[in-house]
Amino acid sequence: MARRPIRRDRRHDEVGASLILALIFLVVVSLIVLSMATWTSSDLRNSIRFTAAQSTVATANSATEVAVQDARYYFDSSTLYASPPIACLAPAMGTINGLSVSVWCSTQWNPQSKSTRVVTFSTCPSTQSATYCAANPLLQAVVTYDDYPTTNNYSSCPPVSTTTTTTTTVAGTSSCGTGMKIDTWVFGAIPPTVTSVTANAAPPTCSTTPITILGTGFTSPATVTFVISGSNNAVYASTSVSVVNTTTITACEPSSGSGTADVIVTTPTGTSPINAPSDQITY
C-alpha cells in the first residue's frame, strides 16, 4: 500500500515569518523613538544653555554699561592703578536676570591729556575674586575718558575718595566725562601681562633708550605707558611700539619724565595689571 505524502501546514510557516517581521518592525520603531527622544532631550538642553548664555551676556553687558557711565562722572581715587582692581560701583551691582555680577576697575590718569583717564573694566560672576577676574574676565572693556577742559591745561576732574559725599559733577566746577570713547569691549578676553622690562643697546629707530618687554597675551595694536611710582599723575606714553610676538614687545622709553616706572601694556583684549617689581624699570 503506497504511503500518502505528508502535507506541511503552510499557515504555520507564515505565522512564524510574520512574528519575525513584527519583531523587526518593533525594534526599528523603538530605535527611532529612542533616537528622537535623545535628540529632543539634547535640543532642550542646548536651548536651556543657549538661553542661559544669552542671559549671562546680557547681564554682563548691562552691569558694565552702568559702571562705565558711573565712572564717566565720578572719578573714584581708589581705582588709580589698582592691582588687583577695585569694585567700580558703590553700592555694588545687584542681581540682574538672576545672575549676580561684579565689575572691577583700574584707572590710569594723565590730567594734562585729552586721554585723561583710561579705565579697564573687568566683569565676572560675583563668586570670583578681583584678582581672578582681572586675569580671566567674562567681559573686559577699556574706556578712555576726556576730562580735559578747553579753558586751561589741566583737568578739573580730581579723584574723589569713596568716603567723600561731594560729587565731581557740580556744574561749572568739573570737567569729568566731557568726552568718552570705548576702546575695546571683549568677551572671554585674555588680558596681557608684563613679566620683565629691560633696556637694550640703542638701535637707530629710537631717539631714547629702547626697551624689551616680555610677558603674555601681546597682540596688535598695543600701547605702552610708563607710570611713575608714587605719583598719581605721572603717566608717559612710549613711542615706536612694536609687537614682535605674543610674548615680546619692543618700544622706546618716553622722551619725558624720569624715575622708577611700572610699564603697562594695553591691547584690544585688555590692560596688563601692575606687577611690581617685575614690570618696573628706572629711566
Kindly list the domain boundaries of the chain, sorted by start residue: 15-189, 192-283
pLDDT higher than threshold 80 for residue 181: yes
pLDDT higher than threshold 90 for residue 257: no
pLDDT of residue 4: 57
Per the model's pLDDT, the better-predicted residue between 9 and 31 turns out to be 31
Residue 164 φ then ψ, to 5°? -85, 135
Residue range 45-71, pLDDT digits in tens: 555 454 456 778 888 898 899 999 989
Model pTM? 0.69
Rg (the chain; Cα; Å): 32
- Whole-angstrom distance, CA of residue 263 vs CA of residue 255: 15
| DSSP single-letter state for residue 152 | S
Could you write out the DSSP letters of every residue in 1-50?
-PPPPPPP-HHHHHHHHHHHHHHHHHHHHHHHHHHHHHHHHHHHHHHHHH
- Mean pLDDT of the chain, nearest integer: 79
CA nearest to 105, candidates 93, 95, 97: 93
Identify the helix (H) or strand (E) that includes residue 55. Answer: helix 10-73
Q: Which CATH architecture has domain 192-283?
A: Sandwich (2.60)
pLDDT higher than threshold 80 for residue 127: yes
**56 Cβ partners below 8 Å, 6+ apart?**
97, 99, 138
- Whole-angstrom distance, CA of residue 231 vs CA of residue 134: 23
| Angle formed at CA 141 by CA 167 and CA 247, multiple of 5 degrees | 130
Residue 87 identity (one-letter amino acid): A
- Whole-angstrom distance, CA of residue 135 vs CA of residue 70: 23
Per the model's pLDDT, the better-predicted residue between 177 and 19 turns out to be 177
pLDDT of residue 167: 43
Could you write out the DSSP letters of every residue in 86-116?
EESSSSPP-EETTEEEEEEEEEEE-TTSSS-
Structure confidence at residue 169 as a pLDDT band (50, 70, 90): very low
- Whole-angstrom distance, CA of residue 249 vs CA of residue 252: 10
- Whole-angstrom distance, CA of residue 91 vs CA of residue 106: 17
Per the model's pLDDT, the better-predicted residue between 133 and 113 turns out to be 133
- Whole-angstrom distance, CA of residue 236 vs CA of residue 141: 22
CB atoms within 10 A of CB 185: 17
pLDDT higher than threshold 50 for residue 170: no
Show the cell assigned to 271.
Answer: 590692560
Q: Contact 211/199 with Cβ under 8 angstroms?
A: yes
